Structure 1
């Protein structure tokens, strides 16, 4: 759940920054500092709200709680934003469903969907996903109340909005904007919301003319051990880390409580009583550094995040495990991380209050997606302990949501329905950074997969060799050193070609 919070905070940071800089701290320290700052009849309601970075109009419309019959016509308020500053009558409408993060007005003036709308005379609509932000259809987040959080309901939420958008936009916009059947809709998104963009284009081709998907992990997988294979390729010190993990596993295998507890103290993780929780916590800094990697700006004195991380393992007087412990302990202390709340698999299980986006995402992984980042099978190199298994990561599902969740989600049926790596879509721009661990589940996972997708239906696959997760989607500044500017030119060219 910490990962979902971090993605939200990091995206907000990039959207509102021209450069990523750091004084004397490493990139991963900056990441955690950012995270610390974050934590009836159809009608539309307008609400004014001041935000940290900008002020914007919040709009709400009535959305069905369940589109498939369980709650009849009962509704809840779902939030959206509109930017029509560059809209030309009849122009395209770009819709960004914010996925596993709250809808943010920051996207109204930064990010790639905004750039596309500005360049093509388009309107930008940001729509909040059910069970995130303030768009909750229930009074609490107990297990039974989570049953309306499904992919199918989320997709139909968007379809319902689009079908009624002329009315919603007319009632909401303060500048008299109007749209109609002549407007072409483009679904956009990054990460999970990129999946939504692809699947909206696939499931509702009559509503969405095209899509732009940044870092979309369209292959749904429970045992996602490939995540660390990308992390390992990105880290020059990967073998040192693997050696440390092998030593740690031998210590955990020994069942020597005194020895195990002494190493937990060395890592500043002695508050974690469960050995698997302890082992799982060690992946946080590694995955964050690679997933949110960004080279220092040209000409800056900021340290490179990967170089900073690997420098810990250059101390030859220590064994790799001691270097790993020293690095992790500094990371925990410097960023004020509470190990129990951040890494305990049972932390928060009884808290059913609203407005827990991490709990919502955890429910989606428990029931439909998995995406468990587990240790790989032998003989693949391991950057996380063998105690970090798919079963350990899914074990808390029942504690959080009740006995109704049994076993692993049926990802096979979902992949069969949605196509996995080969979604049956046309006019979609897929963009991936090759240093993104999630790219292993994307159409860019293999050149042959990309070729098949490009050969069908005018799809475009764009890769950025040095970039990572949703870099093209979020990053506000112009950077020429790791492929983002080139990728953005190609994205715009593809969208213009689609629109005609």
Structure 2
């Protein structure tokens, strides 16, 4: 899923590029508190981790912060983005490393950022892209960090902790499950573990978040604006007005069905961001309810321009397709292309339409073929729905989806996170593998540094993570008489509240 940050999920794959050159983004870095400068390192890992006779390798990038380095290891897993040093300078991974007296590492996923097995993203190259290969890269990385070849064997006897959020949170859970002999304890924040072809629940959660934190007036303004947009799309005069209001690059008298869908997807992109970045909801609803523009359509435009830098809006499908067909890493869409490949072959996660979305998100495609067409046009001419279903089935067969939960894993989810439906909720937790569901928390919010306006439930969940890590590494609670169960009301009390996830 994307974190456009967050990388934004499949829905934004078509939104982002028409607006501007917009690379995949890692979660917003926390406030830097470290006293040291992290060092960039490279490790040559196997291209094909599952064929011993294939000796080809490529350089995998990682950052290392040794501020607290004893013998333990904390690995912050990078997802579908280019890593920067910021996530080794603060935030919950940094706090975990401090508490465990551990070296803090931040790894980059194959085919993303500067970790490039090939100098292109041709289909022949992408055959070596999968979550299984990426997990095996991490296994090789752990072997290296615990060997005499790194820091003279300083970490040889230490415990290994992995953490991650979003897709990287999924990987953290799957690392503990797949390599329990290498990973002692894991923390997964907002990590979906159930692959699913169609995913209408994504938008359902966003509507819920707007209603609970933005209010009915905010939702009403969205519905009013969308209705006016649809009315204007019905005739040439209206389309001309929309072209002017939204600064569409090419003058249009009519729109094709595809151009209408792409236009509406771009228009609703700030609303999708609401569940992914906690500060966006207040901004979005302020613009929509308190803005100076008299007409709801203009307020939607004001919101779009407030969150996106774009000289004009390009709806030319040939241009859009050209961005994603470019196989050079110099392309600003290279990482988007790589993530699309993973959704086509492993995860699905295609946001589709249901009737309850109509007043607010008329942009969501009703049929899967809208998405499958991109898999065909970018990668496989014979791609069909059965192929993505088989990929999703294999992913769930290998990892168990929501039916299996490894021990020594702690997970956190937020009720305003649109990916939470595919992540464990309170009903999946048990003593050795608790799940904390935080009311009104958004995507990856617990992983970030603490802020004054954080809820008590969010603070409790962060403390629970720290306590859980300490207990599993040292076999004791960090303070006499204190245990991670201080936060368990979040785990138990929210069980009923999150049943809407199932």
* TM-score calculated relative to the size of structure 2: 0.77
User: Corresponding residue for 1:80?
Assistant: 62
Match of 1:397 among 375, 378, 387: 375
In 2, Cα distance between equivalents of 1:80 and 1:247: 49
Aligned ranges 1:5-84 → 2 under 5 Å: 5=5, 7=7, 13-16=28-31, 55-69=37-51, 72-84=54-66
Match of 1:384 among 335, 338, 361: 361
User: Corresponding residue for 2:277?
Assistant: 292
In 2, Cα distance between equivalents of 1:414 and 1:163: 25
Q: CA deviation at 1:420?
A: 1.6
Q: Give deviations 1:264-306, integer Å, cap 9, x for gaps.
A: 43333454962221121122111113320239xxxxxxx9324
Match of 1:412 among 393, 396, 407: 393
In 2, Cα distance between equivalents of 1:471 and 1:162: 27
In 2, Cα distance between equivalents of 1:291 and 1:443: 18
Given that 2:415 and 2:439 are in contact with CA atoms closer than 8 Å, whether structure 1 keeps it comes out as yes
Is 1:275 matched with 2:252? no
Is 1:120 matched with 2:120? no
User: Corresponding residue for 1:26?
Assistant: none
User: Corresponding residue for 1:472?
Assistant: 446
Match of 1:103 among 58, 80, 83: 83
Q: CA deviation at 1:402?
A: 4.2
User: Corresponding residue for 2:491?
Assistant: none
- Provide the secondary structure at the position in 1 that maps to 2:64: strand
**How has the CA–CA distance of structure 1 residues 433 and 76 changed in structure 2, closer, same or farther, with 3 Å as cutoff?**
same
In 2, Cα distance between equivalents of 1:79 and 1:159: 14
Q: CA deviation at 1:163?
A: 2.7
In 2, Cα distance between equivalents of 1:475 and 1:381: 36
User: Corresponding residue for 2:480?
Assistant: none
Q: CA deviation at 1:5?
A: 5.0
Q: CA deviation at 1:385?
A: 1.7
Aligned ranges 1:304-315 → 2 under 5 Å: 304-311=282-289
- Provide the secondary structure at the position in 1 that maps to 2:54: coil
In 1, Cα distance between equivalents of 2:380 and 2:403: 34
Q: CA deviation at 1:486?
A: 2.4
Q: CA deviation at 1:440?
A: 1.9
Given that 1:479 and 1:485 are in contact with CA atoms closer than 8 Å, whether structure 2 keeps it comes out as no
Is 1:238 matched with 2:219? yes
- Provide the secondary structure at the position in 1 that maps to 2:429: helix
User: Corresponding residue for 1:361?
Assistant: 339
In 2, Cα distance between equivalents of 1:384 and 1:363: 25
User: Corresponding residue for 1:435?
Assistant: 416
In 2, Cα distance between equivalents of 1:223 and 1:250: 28
In 1, Cα distance between equivalents of 2:316 and 2:403: 36
User: Corresponding residue for 1:189?
Assistant: 164
Q: CA deviation at 1:148?
A: 0.7
Given that 1:129 and 1:154 are in contact with CA atoms closer than 8 Å, whether structure 2 keeps it comes out as yes
* TM-score calculated relative to the size of structure 1: 0.78
**How has the CA–CA distance of structure 1 residues 306 and 258 changed in structure 2, closer, same or farther, with 3 Å as cutoff?**
closer
User: Corresponding residue for 2:198?
Assistant: 223
Q: CA deviation at 1:492?
A: 0.7
In 2, Cα distance between equivalents of 1:95 and 1:396: 34
Q: Give deviations 1:383-441, integer Å, cap 9, x for gaps.
A: 32256344323422233234264445231332233122233311111111221111122
Given that 1:17 and 1:476 are in contact with CA atoms closer than 8 Å, whether structure 2 keeps it comes out as no
**How has the CA–CA distance of structure 1 residues 260 and 127 changed in structure 2, closer, same or farther, with 3 Å as cutoff?**
same
- Provide the secondary structure at the position in 2 that maps to 1:395: helix
Is 1:161 matched with 2:141? yes
User: Corresponding residue for 1:486?
Assistant: 460
Q: Give deviations 1:219-246, integer Å, cap 9, x for gaps.
A: 2222221111121122222244235435
State which drifts further: 340-349 or 213-222.
340-349
**How has the CA–CA distance of structure 1 residues 454 and 331 changed in structure 2, closer, same or farther, with 3 Å as cutoff?**
same
User: Corresponding residue for 1:458?
Assistant: 432
Gaps of 5+ in 1: 19-52, 296-302, 445-449
Q: Give deviations 1:417-469, integer Å, cap 9, x for gaps.
A: 3122233311111111221111122112xxxxx22x223x6111112213211
**How has the CA–CA distance of structure 1 residues 11 and 132 changed in structure 2, closer, same or farther, with 3 Å as cutoff?**
closer
Is 1:372 matched with 2:347? no
Match of 1:129 among 104, 109, 129: 109
In 2, Cα distance between equivalents of 1:329 and 1:54: 39
User: Corresponding residue for 2:177?
Assistant: 202
**How has the CA–CA distance of structure 1 residues 336 and 469 changed in structure 2, closer, same or farther, with 3 Å as cutoff?**
same
**How has the CA–CA distance of structure 1 residues 194 and 393 changed in structure 2, closer, same or farther, with 3 Å as cutoff?**
same
Match of 1:138 among 110, 115, 118: 118
Aligned residue pairs, count: 438
Q: CA deviation at 1:470?
A: 0.4
